[in-house]
């Protein structure tokens, strides 16, 4: 499948205008004259000269689509053209980053350096007037990251609202992820192991493990009951019951995050449970609207899940009682989702405003990753789940609610592990835009 990219020149120009406006306001609020952002440096393994895969400072890649330039810097001073100090070392041990090129370079003053220390000559001299956002290992002489909280709170709060350029990046990331999901499902249907499904995913996405936005979760059968399963068995199981895959893709620094669950037998009871979870998930996606309290949407998910548990004969109590007694939390022990963009779990998910005030999680929901009210431009994941986790079910058996659980029915589903269905959804001025469903639709698949 060929992925068509939009004309990025006008989109990026508008994106950069938005970033400069936000940065002007943030610098004024925090009392600084310059914004200095190191791309970051390599981290090395203890007692070795082997480096970990480089992960660029997200503030750096917010300004430009460069993700593999350790030792580089971005400098912005209000009223001036942003400056990129680009490290292109003279090095025959490693691949040297290619010279900057493409739709974005005209918007920057670019200085190419050969040694990391040369950057200091191109950074502001009045370092006490600089807001320097980065890791501690990004220090260069007197240029030391200070990460002023007032500035970060402002920038993070507004980062929730994506520009048209950012949404274009995320649409492409979603298309790459959807294509790779289809390849992974085909490998599952052919009887592949978890490891081989993972390799089929990478081949289709044409991204290495380190280029993906997060480590793939690829689960066969009961492994789907481990929320962050990464063991990747090399041999296929003796019997195939189910397949859960949580995997995304990257494009120009932006992420997609997609989860699908499949039954080996599309006519069995587990497929029926998947179908009803999918319908519930789509109902929740449709509620990604301006003014929607995300925490309230999460709480309502428990009520809807209680209805599915009742409908499929897993509980004998009412849906309301299942929520009140904590039964739904046994089957759905994580949050509804999170913001996504430059990072898979993006920032300011609990921000009440740009000043750093936070919105607490609802009582009894410690793993919810977002409590903000949705506004146009926000992109969030919607990922309800239903799992058969032995440890949590054992706890449930010790409670008074155990008498209202159909344990024979629960036991019959343990071999499937669980269900999670996840889409990336944009809040707009009207109908939400489902990046994930649109990407699958382009493939002729939901």
Residue 374 lies in a domain: yes
Considering all CA atoms of the chain, what is the largest pairwise distance in Å, rounded to the nearest integer?
72
242 — alpha (psi -120 to 50), left (phi > 0) or beta?
A: beta
Residue 246 buriedness (CB in 10 A; 0-12 / 13-18 / 19+): buried
Cα angle for residues 262, 266, 267 (degrees, 5° grid): 145
Residues 150, 170, single domain; the answer is no
Does residue 155 sit in the same domain as residue 193? Answer: no
Q: Are residues 25 and 120 in the same domain?
A: yes
Q: What's the pTM? A: 0.96
As for how many domains the chain has, the answer is 2
Domain boundary, last residue among 133, 159, 185: 159
Q: What confidence score (pLDDT) does residue 98 get?
A: 87
In this structure, the answer to whether residues 227 and 349 fall within a common structural domain is: yes
The pLDDT of residue 7 is 83
Q: How many CB atoms lie within 10 A of CB 344?
A: 17
> What residues contact residue 304 under an 8 Å CB cut-off, 6+ apart?
280, 283, 284, 319, 384
Give the pairing type, strands 217-220 and 242-247.
antiparallel
In angstroms, the CA 187 to CA 200 distance is 7
Which CATH number goes with the domain that contains 341? 3.90.230.10
Helices (H), 126-215: 149-159, 164-189, 194-205
Taking the C-alpha atoms of residue 324 and residue 358, their distance in angstroms, rounded to an integer, is: 26
In-domain check, residue 62: yes
Show the 3-state SS of 2-34. Answer: CCCCCCHHHHHHHHHHHHHHHHHHHHHHHCCCE
The whole-angstrom separation of Cα 223 and Cα 84 is: 46
The whole domain housing 368 covers 164-442
The one-digit pLDDT tens for each residue of the chain (446 residues) are 445 566 899 999 999 999 999 999 999 999 999 999 999 999 999 999 999 999 999 999 999 999 999 999 999 999 999 999 999 998 877 778 888 999 999 999 999 999 999 999 999 999 999 999 999 999 999 999 999 999 999 999 999 999 999 999 999 999 999 999 999 999 999 999 999 999 999 999 999 999 999 999 999 999 999 999 999 999 999 999 999 999 999 999 999 999 999 999 989 999 999 999 999 999 999 999 999 999 999 999 999 999 999 999 999 999 999 999 999 999 999 999 999 999 999 999 999 999 999 999 999 999 999 999 999 999 999 999 999 999 999 999 999 999 999 999 999 999 999 999 999 999 999 999 999 999 999 998 65
Q: How many CB atoms lie within 10 A of CB 143?
A: 20
Query: Apex CA 246: angle with CA 211 and CA 56, to 5°?
Result: 25
Q: Are the C-beta atoms of 371 and 295 separated by less than 8 Å?
A: yes
Q: Judge contact between 359 and 371, C-beta under 8 A.
A: yes
Residue 190: the pLDDT is: 98
pLDDT at 91: 83
Q: Rounded CA gap, 390 and 410, in Å?
A: 10
Q: Which of 126, 142, 159 is the last residue of a domain?
A: 159
Is-contact 435 395, C-beta < 8 A? no
- Would residue 353 count as lying in a domain? yes
By CB neighbour count within 10 A (0-12 exposed, 13-18 middle, 19+ buried), where does 106 fall? exposed
Three-state secondary structure call for residue 169: helix
Do 309 and 327 form a contact (C-beta atoms < 8 A)?
A: yes
136 and 224 in a common domain: no
Q: Rounded to an integer, what distance in angstroms lies between the CA atom of residue 439 and that of residue 207?
A: 18
Are 123 and 73 in contact by the 8 Å Cβ rule? The answer is yes
Output DSSP code: residue 353: S
Both 308 and 252 in one domain: the answer is yes
| Domain membership flag for residue 2 | no
Q: Which residues contact 16 (CB under 8 A, 6 or more apart)?
A: 63, 82, 104, 107
Instruction: Select from 142, 159, 176 the last residue of a domain.
Output: 159
Looking at the domain assignment, is residue 3 inside a domain?
A: no
Residues 217 and 85 in one domain: no
In a domain, 1, yes or no: no
Give the DSSP per-residue string, 118-142: GGGGGS-S-GGGEEE-S-GGG-BTT
For residues 101 and 150, what is the distance between their CA atoms, to the nearest angstrom? 34
Helical packing angle, 294-311 and 269-285, nearest 10°: 160
Q: What is the CATH number of the domain that holds 150?
A: 3.40.350.10
Consecutive H or E run containing 85: strand 83-87
Same-domain check for residues 208 and 110? no
Residue 196 and residue 67 share a domain: no
DSSP strand pairing (109-113 vs 83-87): parallel
Residues 118, 223, single domain; the answer is no
Question: Does residue 404 lie within any of the structural domains?
Answer: yes
> Does residue 171 share a domain with residue 148?
no
Q: So what's the pLDDT on residue 1?
A: 44
Distances (CA, A) of 8 to 4, 16, 175, 219, 426: 12, 12, 17, 37, 19
Nearest C-alpha neighbor of 288 from the set 226, 383, 375? 375
- Please indicate, yes or no, whether residues 325 and 431 belong to a single structural domain of this protein: yes
Q: List, in order, residues 6 or more apart from 302 with CB less than 8 Å away.
A: 322, 323, 328, 329, 332
Whether 64 is covered by a domain: the verdict is yes
Residue 5 confidence (pLDDT): 61
Which pLDDT does position 95 carry in this prediction? 78
Task: List the Cα angle 361/366/368 in 5-degree steps.
Answer: 65
């Amino acid at each position: 499948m060929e992925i068509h990219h939009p004309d990025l020149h006008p989109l990026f120009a508008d994106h950069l205008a938005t970033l400069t406006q936000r940065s002007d306001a943030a610098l004024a609020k925090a009392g600084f004259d310059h914004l200095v952002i190191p791309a970051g440096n390599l981290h090395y393994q203890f007692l070795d000269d082997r480096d970990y895969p480089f992960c660029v400072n997200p503030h750096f890649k917010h300004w430009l689509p460069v993700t593999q330039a350790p030792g580089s810097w971005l400098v912005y001073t209000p009223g001036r053209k942003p400056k990129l100090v680009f490290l292109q070392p003279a090095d025959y041990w490693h691949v040297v980053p290619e010279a900057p090129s493409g739709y974005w370079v005209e918007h920057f003053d670019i200085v190419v350096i050969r040694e990391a220390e040369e950057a200091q000559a191109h950074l502001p001299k009045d370092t006490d007037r600089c807001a320097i956002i980065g890791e501690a290992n990004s220090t260069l002489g007197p240029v030391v990251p200070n990460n002023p909280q007032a500035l970060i709170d402002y920038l993070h709060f507004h980062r929730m609202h994506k520009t048209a350029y950012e949404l274009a990046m995320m649409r492409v990331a979603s298309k790459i992820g959807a294509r790779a999901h289809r390849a992974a499902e085909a490998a599952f249907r052919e009887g592949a192991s978890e490891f081989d499904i993972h390799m089929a995913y990478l081949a289709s996405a044409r991204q290495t493990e380190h280029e993906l936005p997060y480590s793939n979760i690829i689960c066969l059968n009961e492994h789907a009951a481990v929320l962050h399963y990464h063991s990747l068995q090399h041999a296929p199981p003796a019997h195939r019951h189910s397949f859960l895959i949580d995997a995304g893709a990257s494009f120009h620094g932006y992420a997609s995050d997609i989860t699908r669950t499949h039954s080996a037998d599309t006519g069995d009871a587990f497929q029926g449970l998947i179908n009803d979870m999918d319908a519930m998930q789509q109902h929740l996606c449709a509620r990604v609207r301006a003014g929607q309290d995300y925490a309230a949407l999460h709480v309502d998910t428990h009520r809807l899940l209680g209805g599915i548990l009742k409908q499929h004969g897993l509980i004998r109590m009412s849906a309301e009682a299942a929520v009140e007694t904590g039964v739904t939390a046994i089957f759905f022990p994580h949050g509804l989702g999170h913001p996504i963009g430059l990072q898979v779990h993006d920032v300011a998910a609990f921000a009440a405003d740009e000043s750093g005030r936070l919105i607490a999680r609802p009582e009894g929901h410690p793993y919810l990753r977002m409590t903000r009210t949705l506004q146009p431009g926000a992109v969030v994941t919607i990922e309800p789940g239903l799992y058969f986790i032995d440890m949590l079910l054992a706890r449930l058996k010790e409670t008074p609610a155990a008498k209202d659980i159909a344990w024979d029915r629960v036991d019959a589903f343990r071999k499937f592990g669980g269900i999670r269905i996840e889409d990336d959804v944009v809040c707009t001025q009207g109908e939400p835009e489902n990046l994930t469903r649109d990407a699958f639709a382009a493939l002729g698949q939901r």
